[in-house]
Structure 1
Amino acid sequence: MLAALSPRSANKALCGSYKEGFCDNSKYLYLHWQQTQFIRCIWITGNPQVIKQLQSKNLEVYYRWSLRGIYHALTAKYYFYNSYIGDINQWLANGSTKVNLWHGLPMKKIEFDINTGPMAQVFNPKGKLETCKQWLFAHQQRITPDLMLSPSALIDSLFSSAFKLDKTQLIRATNPRTDYYALYTSKRQPLDKIFTSNKFDSMQQNGNDASKQAPQPSIILYVPSWRDSHKQGNPYNSAFDWQQLSNHLVANNQLFLLRLHPNEASLADELTEYANIINISQLEDVYGFLQQVDLLITDYSSLFIDALPLNTPICFYRFDEAHYQQDCRDMYDYAAKLPDIAPKCTYFDELLTQLMPETIAKQQKDYQEGYRNVSELFWGRETPNAFEALEEKIGPRTE
């Protein structure tokens, strides 16, 4: 409560990210403002590696509980975060303007809309005792933001319900993570500069004649959603025949990038020995090379929504749909009514058929109308970019 009494500078913004990473919307807002100097923008984290990374680039960053970290948490007017206020400092945020940049446009129910699965007890506990328990142990999840970005009327309705916001608290805008590389095209990341693995390099050699360059491999990105009800075991071992997939990839000059949710990243460790399959779960995010992806495979992850403006072919692989519907979070009603924008697979053999180069090539034509309609549903028409919209909202400032 005392933090609310601290004077706060309108010319200072703090940014932070989920699980102490340097990623997602707050990362790209921070990088943009570091370049434009629109406002003094400081990264706050508890991760020594992130501090070292940013300091090496002469970017302003502080450890959360250092004297400077505490000082800035008490004196910055704006907090920009990806998930929860604890990304920056949940204990010193009172009195600041809290802007949740949220990390996805949802198909699964989120936050206070969750009424099934393990997370329901956090946001909708039953009884006074459970409610008190969640205020103690899930404090930051129950702190609602002052502002959020929303690109369309559909997202207005979802965010206002899930975060208990009035629609006047929603700023019409796209997301920093989708805007950054459209604005700074020179900063897009070439794939061969990203991977430390030699798999990508080895694919550049053409069979028996090492002096001839092979065609660039097609890039397939697999980004499944977090299965929040899986307590043990690796669901991806039963969903894939990894050796058969590897054989297919080699035969068709394709590279399969495996990107698991941060809460499941360790499950990918055992899948790194197969040819043409690369685990990128450790990367901060995929936005620097998303424009280069030839096929995006997901299930319920909202990353496919970010790929819509890029016209990236998509395939939905929902190998555990029955389990997911029964034991995980419910889907929003609108999700079942979306026009078809991509093939849907339940079994691995079906997925393998969709990975054939000729099948991928046909996708844009086959799903063109539905794809365009869904893109407009999520992103609207001529929606302002996030940087311009936020700067207009913040407006002129004086110390």
Structure 2
Amino acid sequence: MKRVFKYIKIVLKIIIGFPFYYISMVIPKKKELAVIGSSLGKHFADNTKYYYINYYSKEKSSLNLIWISKNRDVVKELKLKGLPAEYLYSFKGIYITLRASKAYLSHRLDDINSALIGGAKIIQLWHGMPLRKIGYGGDWTEHNLSGKIYILISKYFPYAYYMKCDILIAPCETAKLKLIEPFSKSFRNNKIADNIVLARQPRTLCFDNKFELASTFFPEVDLLKSLSKKHNKIISWLPTHRAVFNKSILDVILDSKLDLNKLNTFCKQNNTLFVIKAHFLDFNETSKIVQSLDFIYVYPHADAYPLLKYTDILITDYSSVFFDFLFLNRPIIFMSHDLEEYREKVNFYYNYENLNIGPICKSWNEVMKIITDISNNQDDYLCKREEAFNNYHFEVDCI
């Protein structure tokens, strides 16, 4: 039923978007006008957020870069800061989007509106250096009916193909090579490798000492400073959203046999705060089950990067966030209780067991033991993380 609904949604997008897309293709573009958005238009977050902040922190250029959002609160907050932003579903928002010569995205075409950016040059900053296979060759292939449909959509209805773009940013040569296949159906020409440009992911600027987490853009920073002073360590758990299994983080907690009361006691004994950064769809339910636990906190903000800057130990599983965390060279623990099950559903670009930047655990008891070792200055992966970071040769400059 879920798959049927998905296809119905695609068909409706094709039908409804068709006239708007081809109208937008012929509307003259303003060379000095660009639009930017993120997270399906819902949040001010990810690479586009940091690109936007970095752009307006420098000496102004001729390009008028306007944040477009489907969230009125985001627009209101940016305007209060004196920055250009428009609500997409307003006359002005639609007009600006139609006239923009460039569109910057972090996730997919719907970060703004796929049918309204026809004719604009689409710069996809993307939202990570993927560990698991994505797009063509990962999420789908052309060897079945649904794949053949995707091929037709990408060719003849590009506004309905979520990964369509003109330029894709990759943070290093290794990532670029991995992204060639998944984005092979995304570009308007066949020069796939040429369309993938090496540049730093703007969100990693957050980790630089010279980058100020000004409360103007990061209201959460006062909270993070307070939590950091109050506790000896902040441990952040960022599990992968398991949409492929139709599971929430509550399922992950149950499946992994995480005893929240036991974890809370452990953290209390060590004056450590355990922060859960859940997917925004899981936030409310997760908050309810930890509300009586003083040393476990569910992070309420969409942008995880300020939290990561204050994180002493990162726990994740298959999220590519650990590649970014290498910039800080702080301990990483992989809690992968369902590795075999997960690998049956998806394929990896990298040999997971040979990443060699942190221990791979199958139980929370193992995790707590390693946390204790790290707290006692026994970090077995310190040099290995540094070596891995250097071997990836991450780009140092943004576009």
Smaller-chain TM-score bracket: 0.7 to 0.9
Q: Contact between 1:154 and 1:377, CA under 8 Å: does it hold in 2?
A: no
2:27 aligned residue: 6
Q: Aligned pair 1:48/2:72, yes or no?
A: yes
- Choose from 212, 216, 239 the match for 1:224: 239
- Choose from 271, 283, 294 the match for 1:275: 294
Q: Aligned pair 1:242/2:266, yes or no?
A: no
The alpha carbon displacement at 1:300 in A equals 0.6
Q: Aligned pair 1:329/2:346, yes or no?
A: yes
Q: Specify the SS of the correspondent of 1:77.
A: strand
Q: How many angstroms apart in 2 are the aligned matches of 1:250 and 1:323?
A: 33
CA shift in 2, pair 1:132/1:179, >3 Å: closer
2:13 aligned residue: none
- Choose from 374, 378, 382 the match for 1:368: 382
Q: Contact between 1:319 and 1:345, CA under 8 Å: does it hold in 2?
A: yes
The alpha carbon displacement at 1:264 in A equals 3.8
The alpha carbon displacement at 1:307 in A equals 0.7
1:147 aligned residue: 167
Counting aligned pairs with the same residue, the percent is: 24
CA shift in 2, pair 1:341/1:190, >3 Å: farther
The alpha carbon displacement at 1:66 in A equals 1.1
Q: How many residues align?
A: 360
Q: Contact between 1:82 and 1:100, CA under 8 Å: does it hold in 2?
A: yes
Q: Contact between 1:125 and 1:131, CA under 8 Å: does it hold in 2?
A: no
Q: How many angstroms apart in 2 are the aligned matches of 1:220 and 1:258?
A: 9
1:60 aligned residue: 84
Q: Specify the SS of the correspondent of 1:288.
A: helix
Question: RMSD value over aligned CA atoms?
Answer: 2.9
1:213 aligned residue: none
Structure 2 alignment gaps of length 5 or more: 1-21
- Choose from 168, 171, 179 the match for 2:205: 179
Q: Contact between 2:129 and 2:171, CA under 8 Å: does it hold in 1?
A: no
2:15 aligned residue: none
Q: Contact between 2:118 and 2:159, CA under 8 Å: does it hold in 1?
A: no
CA shift in 2, pair 1:128/1:218, >3 Å: closer
The alpha carbon displacement at 1:302 in A equals 0.8
CA shift in 2, pair 1:169/1:130, >3 Å: closer
Alignment of 1:46-195 (within 5 A): 46-114=70-138, 119-120=139-140, 124=142, 126-127=144-145, 131=149, 135=153, 140-164=160-184, 166-180=192-206, 182=208, 184-187=210-213, 193-194=222-223
Q: How many angstroms apart in 2 are the aligned matches of 1:111 and 1:356?
A: 39
CA shift in 2, pair 1:187/1:88, >3 Å: same
Q: Specify the SS of the correspondent of 1:34.
A: helix
Structure 1 alignment gaps of length 5 or more: 205-215, 391-399
The alpha carbon displacement at 1:267 in A equals 4.5
TM-score (norm: length of structure 2): 0.82
The alpha carbon displacement at 1:30 in A equals 1.1
Larger RCO: Structure 1 or Structure 2 (Cα < 8 Å, ≥ 6 residues apart)? 1
